[in-house]
Structure 1
Amino acid sequence: MKLKIALFGLVLSIVSCNQATKETASEEPVATTTTEETTKTFKYWNWMSVGHKKSDSAYTAHFNKLKSKGIDAVLLNTGADPGLLKRLTPLATAAGLEVHAWMFTTNRPGDSIAQQHPDWYMVSRSGKSCFKKEERPYVGYYQWLSPSHPEARKHILSLVEGLAKVEGVASVHLDYIRYPDVYLPIGLLPKYDLKQEEELPDYDFDYSDASVNKFMALHHKDPRKMENPAIDIEWKNFRLNEIRSLVNEAYDIVHKHDKKLSAAVFPYPEMADHMVRQRWDKWNIDMVLPMIYYNFYNEELDWIGYATKQGVEDLQGKSTELHTGLYTPKLSNEDLKDAIQYAKDNGASGVAFFDDYHMTDEQFEIIKASKE
């Protein structure tokens, strides 16, 4: 996830929101008690970006190291390249790791096929297109395709299917399965010298022709002409449903190939809804990995427990597993130990680490020890 560092350096998705509500006494994370059953079933994931330059032997050594340090599953970012995924999956599997095909979904930086079609891209309320480098929000790699454009959607789903066809892959893992950040995480705002106390036109998407025309066919009103589109519930819900239907189509595709669908998502559904038009508790999906990077939101460590518990409760009645995502560069050794425990104690099925290339030997030892 080097792109994910950018992404998370920005993050954007990775993230954003007005300062989250502090926990009340009734919302405090439950006390730390790990059962034998939890220890047996709790899964440890790792996000990692891969490329063609490194040798098979180098990857084999790295996969063996991850396994020896307690990692159970790797999320491989191949740039949606099924050929590279096909090459590396047997190596990771031989090391005893479960393999998940990680891909950028609606945000498609450097996509040579998409870049031939300017009309595929999202447009802001201020009329700026993600196709044009100088008009992209926040960072240059924010190149968002509109899920409302039928050809853009078809292209995204073809990438999903290409990865799902690779033998040995456990799931296709959707990242950036959302709209651009309406609100950045409060901890990132100073980096961009921004105040976001309302939905600003430069960060409110998608006002592309494809999206507006599809919405108008349903609701007979033009969001471009609304005085305050932020308070129009149909317009907001339309965009939530565009992402939801894209996920549900991806779910059907991967299950056709006997694979599962997973996704990296924002910390909990209400927050994701507010920040990036992403209501993941309503999706057809097997596993979600909410990126509970508490420091991006100026929260304290126990917020990991709060957000984990909130997501688990929002998924009640569904078979979807929740695995808490942790941002290790900002975690001290003691905090990493406590973060894992907060996830366990509040109902997570596992923890996912971003990312191994920046993790210290001491952090790996803490991860390994937490499984014993």
Structure 2
Amino acid sequence: MRQGINLLLLLLVLATSCTNPQKETASKKVENTKQPFKYWTWYGAGHTVPDSIHIANFKKFAKHGIDAVLIDTRADADRLSKIAPFAIKAGLEVHAWMFTMNRPGDSIALQHPDWYMVSRSGKSCFNDRPYVDYYQWLSPSHPEARQHIWNLVEGLAKVEGITSVHLDYIRYPDVYLPVGLLPKYNLVQNEELPDFDFDYSDAAVEKFQKKYGKNIKEIEVPAIDIEWKQFRLNEIKAVVDGAYEIAHKHGKKLTAAVFPYPEMADHMVRQRWDKWQIDAVLPMIYNNFYNEGLDWVKFASEQGIRDLEGKRTQLHTGLYIPEMSAEEVKNAIETVKESGAAGVAFFDIKETHYKTIKASKK
């Protein structure tokens, strides 16, 4: 009897050892299946632009190798539902691009001055905006402002045929500008300046005090209060995670335009995107804004990929190309491919770039 049992166990072990490698191999094949390298572009669908122009532009994108288009309709879902079919018919994947925390000219938000972020110097984005006039930032700590953003996400997510809702300006205003832009504003930013350090709105200050038991306005040097910094990172994360749930509820993905890599984004705009629930990020690795070359594009892409290790979030490198020659665009695309990114996104394609972009797909 014992011999019979031993023989049975031996057969079971042999059977298991014969079948497991096949399963493991099949599993590895699935894991290692890579998606084609994707080409994206951002596109503003102005309300005064005729449909015939949009149709022509979408056809041009598709003809020259673009796979996905991020369409800005000012978060107008009805407008997107009319424009998106033109892009889909042209063979493009459509993503609904929206301004998120920065909501310039938002007719609903403008009825609520208390929804807006406030600087350490006491200036509200409602009527006293940092850097440029279109910087009208809502506070992620104000529950009604947050819900307003989620309502906009849901409206876009309901549009048939789109692939994702794409969050832009999903952060705080720039604590530090890219070094290449500082001369434009005649600024020196060697520390966190009061006019560019947000959010000291009542909603944020009260929420922070309730959670941590201290009034941030009474802290002598807020910049070194780690809990205050983490609080703001978490407030943005909460908006993103909520948007993720909404988008997925409607069968859509969530994507976002972000700063070059998480540590840098954390430092510059209170944005730690490697901690978010999100399907894909398009870091804006605009090297000329930082007085950097293509080696930095590769470094920043690789750094972001490392920070996302173990997550399902894809990284597609964003390039700012209007000032690049065709040859520079070609080299930039190759650099992004070498970095291991899942794709490349072009901001402001010029006529001189199209042939290069198409040729690079071969």
Question: What TM-score do you get using the length of structure 2 for normalisation?
Answer: 0.90
Establish whether residue 364 from structure 1 lines up as the match of residue 349 from structure 2: no
Q: From 186, 204, 222, give the equivalent of 1:193.
A: 186
In 2, Cα distance between equivalents of 1:248 and 1:142: 23
SS in 1 for 2:260: coil
Q: From 221, 224, 233, give the equivalent of 2:226.
A: 233
Match of 1:318 in 2: 311
In 1, Cα distance between equivalents of 2:57 and 2:328: 25
Instruction: Report matched runs for 1:140-155 at 5 Å.
Output: 140-155=133-148
Which residue identity does 1:70 align to in structure 2?
Answer: G
In 2, Cα distance between equivalents of 1:187 and 1:56: 37
Which residue identity does 1:366 align to in structure 2?
Answer: T
CA contact (8 A) 1:301 1:335 kept: no
Offset, 1:58: 2.3
In 2, Cα distance between equivalents of 1:57 and 1:178: 35
In 1, Cα distance between equivalents of 2:182 and 2:58: 36
Offset, 1:56: 2.4
Offset, 1:338: 1.0
Q: From 320, 333, 347, give the equivalent of 1:327.
A: 320
Match of 1:31 in 2: none
Q: From 39, 49, 59, give the equivalent of 1:44.
A: 39
Instruction: Report matched runs for 1:47-86 at 5 Å.
Output: 47-86=42-81
Q: Which runs of 4+ in 1 moved over 3 A?
A: none
CA contact (8 A) 1:51 1:84 kept: no
In 2, Cα distance between equivalents of 1:145 and 1:313: 31
Match of 1:11 in 2: none
In 2, Cα distance between equivalents of 1:120 and 1:53: 30
SS in 2 for 1:365: helix
Comparing 135-144 with 46-55, greater Cα deviation is found at 46-55
Establish whether residue 88 from structure 1 lines up as the match of residue 83 from structure 2: yes
Establish whether residue 261 from structure 1 lines up as the match of residue 237 from structure 2: no
Establish whether residue 111 from structure 1 lines up as the match of residue 101 from structure 2: no
In 2, Cα distance between equivalents of 1:128 and 1:323: 36
Establish whether residue 167 from structure 1 lines up as the match of residue 157 from structure 2: no
SS in 1 for 2:151: helix
Offset, 1:53: 2.3
Establish whether residue 124 from structure 1 lines up as the match of residue 119 from structure 2: yes
Q: From 331, 334, 348, give the equivalent of 1:338.
A: 331
In 1, Cα distance between equivalents of 2:187 and 2:279: 36
Over the residues paired in the alignment, what is the CA RMSD in angstroms?
1.0
Which residue identity does 1:369 align to in structure 2?
Answer: A
Q: From 260, 282, 285, give the equivalent of 1:292.
A: 285
In 1, Cα distance between equivalents of 2:175 and 2:293: 23
In 1, Cα distance between equivalents of 2:154 and 2:110: 20
For residues 61-89 of structure 1, give each alpha carbon's deviation from its aligned partner in whole angstroms, at most 9, with x where no partner exists.
11111100000000000000001100011
Match of 1:350 in 2: 343
Q: From 198, 202, 206, give the equivalent of 1:209.
A: 202
Match of 1:303 in 2: 296
In 2, Cα distance between equivalents of 1:61 and 1:192: 37
In 1, Cα distance between equivalents of 2:47 and 2:269: 32
- If asked which structure has higher relative contact order (CA below 8 Å, sep 6+), I would say 1
Establish whether residue 182 from structure 1 lines up as the match of residue 175 from structure 2: yes
Match of 2:216 in 1: 223
In 1, Cα distance between equivalents of 2:144 and 2:206: 15
Which residue identity does 1:115 align to in structure 2?
Answer: L
SS in 1 for 2:192: coil
Q: Percent identity?
A: 68
Q: How many residues align?
A: 330
Offset, 1:335: 1.4
